[in-house]
Amino acid sequence: MTDPSTSGQPTGAGTVVVALDGPAGSGKSSVSKQVARRLGYGYLDTGAAYRALAWHALERGIDTSDAASVLDVSGDFDYAISLDPDSYWVRVGGVDVTDAIREPRVSDAVSGVARVPAVRQSVNALFRALVAHSGRPGVVVEGRDITTVVAPDAPVRILLTAAPEVRAARRSAELTTQDAAAVAAALHRRDASDSSVVDFLTAAPGVEVVDSTDLDFDQTVDAVLGVIRSALSASDPLQTGAPDGR
């Protein structure tokens, strides 16, 4: 799936990494994109890789609950993703799957893919390589275990969260074709399944929490930008180029 020689390399020499974790419906994707735009950074949606691999497996008739089969099909997983927040796309083998990986069948299958340790190790190496070769001053990397596994040494580490009922309402508003109760139930199942693999509901030491329960979108973006400015200033008090996000 990726060159194993990239595993263990620094996340990106000279590239500022903003690591942002959070549960489904917390707003991490939309907030991360806007933060990246405001800072002139790249944006990396790590969850898209697992969704794309789930799509790839389903297209080949693979049972994603079978770890051995998932690992086998990952061997010919040709994956590409844009880091441009204004031109976002995901491709598998030249096929644009940007919309397809958001289908309910893929959402239902992605946890089975993400729980395979060897897959996670390979995908994490891919994420680090994407950041290292981004050619951008910084990259906002969002997902489930970015602050603890993918980029534990990032100068900015944030957990974006919100109350479960607020997250369910937000996700329901995004998925207008699905019943609100069904969306809430699916979100709960996804959180429960994914939390057995990685703890994305509790901030690790040194990770700043942004709770968006009572914040609107713009307020949440401003709150995240505030954490970034403070963290970068603290890591280098003499720097004059800390992003202002304006």
Which residues does the annotation place in the binding site for ATP?
22-30
Q: Which residues are annotated as a binding site?
A: 22-30
Half-sphere exposure (Cβ direction) of 75: Cα atoms closer than 13 Å: 6
CA 141 to CA 228: how far, in whole Å? 13
Strand-pairing partners, residue 210, are 160
- The 10 Å Cβ neighbour count of residue 104 is 13
Distances (CA, A) of 200 to 5, 9, 97, 144, 204: 28, 23, 26, 5, 9
- Nearest Cα neighbor of 71 from 133, 36, 29, 119 is 119
Backbone angles phi, psi at 156, to 5 degrees: -130, 120
